[in-house]
Amino acid sequence: ELQLSDRVQRIKPSPTLAVTSRAAELRAQGKDIIGLGAGEPDFDTPDHIKDAAIQAIKAGKTRYTAVDGTPGLKQAIIAKFKRENGLEYSANQILVSSGGKQSFFNMALAMLNDGDEAIIPAPYWVSYPDMVLVAGGEPVILETTVESRFKVSPEQLEAAITPKTRLFVINSPSNPSGVAYTEEELKALGEVLRRHPQVLIATDDMYEHILWTGKPFVNILNANPDLYDRTIVLNGVSKAYSMTGWRIGYAAGPAKLIGAMKKVQSQSTSNPASVSQEAAQAALEGSQECVAHMVEAFKARHDWLVAALNALPGVTCLAGDGTFYAFPDFSGAIKANGLKNDLELADKLLEAGVALVPGSAFGAEGCLRLSFAVSLDTLKAAVSRIEAALTK
């Protein structure tokens, strides 16, 4: 019998990608399915970014580049961190990868040993625990609730840290909850982490720009500048510039760690696509107006959707601070409809013509994740279907 590795058997396929493909299957059978499962903006990549890629192809920028990214893109990333985040990096502290997903994957492989613990607050981006498992680490999940606005407290973090803890992951604003930590909350978490120097901090800032708190974006490093030597910042162009298919993410952090991640990448994928790097450089260096337009649309949909969800019986939905996800708690509705859990509810709603991801996939039972990266009309139709399915 063909034998598979223990490593691959520890993990599962991405549940969000699974929902998207299940919806596509049903559509192919002629069913009318509204997809609220996908984790990508519904906008096209802005023209000036596409044009940069077209120019790059014509200019023959179609060959291997440096493994860690072209000098031009790395300079654009360094300038971005300085301009937008007040963070200083030199070139050997930056690694460009094929998407934010690969950045995290490289990091996990570069710094976790077998049995090392990685603290991940739930609800989490579905890939963190599995990538930690592939690297041989042990995910330690911290539960949160609607009452805590899906955020972890300093006490929770302190209680979870053991001598084996090597990594703390924070994603703000969060996929899937949409909430962002305040500067004060980040300071309080930093206070705990300061006492445990063996823990590396990974801040995933992928949704940095899709934010409507009215305050400037802050990450845990901005709130605790003295943690610079043990913090890695993960970011990318996928969500901010509607560039999910281009596959460009980047990481900034201690040179030793970035160098180790580069080595992993040099023995797996080598450089990210050359043409995509030219496009990403144009995204970072060009006008940021395109981002503001998208955020405005997301905010309008968010406001409508959160109100509509809260009007459903047995549903509580927090107002998010950003991203393009709502993460309502459906516990009351699940009970009232005689269902066992969020997985059964997601199945029922799929039958009713709406594809969305059960909260369990993100470590939060009883919730659902709805992506509002669709038009307002589509959202309205989706909520009508959900309402009809629930009161039936």
Interface contacts to ligand PLP, rule CB under 6 A: 39, 99-101, 125, 171, 175, 204, 206, 236, 238, 244, 249
Cα Rg, the chain, nearest whole Å = 21
Q: Kindly state the smallest distance separating residue 167's Cβ from ligand PLP, in Å.
A: 15
Query: CB of residue 385 vs ligand PLP: minimum separation in angstroms?
Result: 25
Q: How far is the CB of 129 from ligand PLP (least distance, A)?
A: 13
Whose CB is nearest to ligand PLP? 99
Q: 14 vs 153, which CB is nearer to ligand PLP?
A: 14
By beta-carbon proximity to ligand PLP, the closer residue of 117 and 204 is 204
CB nearer to ligand PLP: pick between 261 and 390: 261
CB of 295 to ligand PLP, least distance (A): 16
CA distance 226 to 221: 8
**Residue closer to ligand PLP (CB basis): 70 or 171:** 171
CB 19 within 8 A of CB 371: no
- Closest approach of Cβ 332 to ligand PLP, in Å? 27
CB of 211 to ligand PLP, least distance (A): 13
CA-to-CA distance for 360 and 367, rounded, in angstroms? 7
Contact 362/321 with Cβ under 8 angstroms?
A: no
Nearest residue (CB) to ligand PLP, 101 versus 334: 101
User: Which is closer to ligand PLP, CB of 213 or CB of 337?
Assistant: 213
Instruction: CB nearer to ligand PLP: give 211 or 386.
Output: 211
Q: Quote the least distance from Cβ 137 to ligand PLP, whole Å.
A: 18
Q: Provide, rounded to whole angstroms, the least separation between the CB of residue 108 and ligand PLP.
A: 13
Q: Which is nearer to ligand PLP, 171 or 224 (CB)?
A: 171
